[in-house]
Amino acid sequence: MGPFIVGILVVIVVLILISTVQIVPQARAYVVERLGAYQATWDVGVHFKVPVIDRVAKKVSLKEQVVDFPPQPVITKDNVTMQIDTIVFFQVINPKLYTYGVEVPMAAIEYLTATTLRNIIGDLELDETLTSRDHINGRMRIILDEATDAWGIKVIRVELKNILPPREIQDAMEKQMKAERERRQAILQAEGEKASQILVAEGEKQSAILRADATKITKIREAEGEAEAILTVQKALADSIALLNEAAPSDPVIKLKALEAFAAAADGKATKLIIPSEIQGLAGLAASVVEASKVSQ
């Protein structure tokens, strides 16, 4: 055996040995078969396989995957046909079942999603379909997760991406929404005008109350002033009477004071005075005294 042949054999052996080493990266799993039958599932790390006998049947990703399925025609309970496209978030949790459980997993999930969606929407009317996204998403996730469990797949989340009713229904919905917005705007405007009128009325009410309070206070102060004046006059009169009593005046002095009082009462404005008889004599005497004083001057 020549050196050339030995070198070729060495190279072949090295290649065979290298081919027996398999490195599984992170978030991946290898399904290994031996002589056509399932042998093992290799996780992340270094593994060795028997040459020719063992082979890697499938390399499976363990990451969460997202599939966006095209719009599907569905019919509601009230016979409205609409287009709905769905997004499914799933993860392979059993590589063996994922490899041998179904022939084409993505196609199987798509068909199962379309069938489940039609069944759920068929039990709902149009208005319920448009307002029950969370309910539909939850029901679809549960049904798909149970159905795909035999395929080693866990459905994590299902989302309805778009719900597209027919064009005429969209137009009717837009008109309804516009009418609703206009109604809300009219209500808000009416409530604003009502609040404005209430504020104006409250202001007028407060202004009237303040004016009434001011008038009341003015009248009270005027009345208190008049009362104080009357009390002052009465007190002065009482004091003068008391002083007069203390002086014990004679009868002619009293009558003279009375005459002065009459004169003060007339104040040059009275056209007629009625003088009591008791002080008429005193008045004559006073006139005589005045005339005598004028002659002597």
Q: Could you give the angle at which helices 251-266 and 280-296 cross, rounded to 10 degrees?
A: 80
Percent of the chain with pLDDT over 70: 79
| 109-143 pLDDT tens trace | 999 999 999 999 999 888 888 888 899 999 999 99
What value does the mean pLDDT take over residues 73-86? Answer: 89
Say whether pTM exceeds 0.75. no
CATH number (3.40.140.10, 3.30.499.10, 3.30.479.30, 3.40.250.10) of 64-165 reads: 3.30.479.30
Long-range contacts of 47-54 (CB under 8 A, 24+ apart): 47/21, 47/22, 47/23, 48/20, 48/21, 48/22, 49/20, 49/22, 50/20, 51/16, 51/19, 51/20
Domain extents for the chain?
3-61, 64-165, 167-224, 249-266+273-292
What value does the mean pLDDT of the chain take? 81
Contact 117, 123 (CB under 8 A): no
What value does the mean pLDDT take over residues 189-196? Answer: 86
3-class secondary-structure state, position 120? helix
Contact 63, 98 (CB under 8 A): no
User: Rounded to an integer, what distance in angstroms lies between the CA atom of residue 24 and that of residue 43?
Assistant: 6
Token duo for residue 153: 């797949």
- pLDDT of 38 reads 93
Q: Is the predicted pLDDT of residue 274 greater than 60, yes or no?
A: no
What value does the mean pLDDT take over residues 194-206? Answer: 86
Best-predicted range by mean pLDDT among 51-55, 89-93, 162-166?
89-93
3-class secondary-structure state, position 191? helix
Q: Is the predicted pLDDT of residue 37 greater than 60, yes or no?
A: yes
User: Rounded to an integer, what distance in angstroms lies between the CA atom of residue 295 and that of residue 297?
Assistant: 5
Contact 50, 104 (CB under 8 A): no
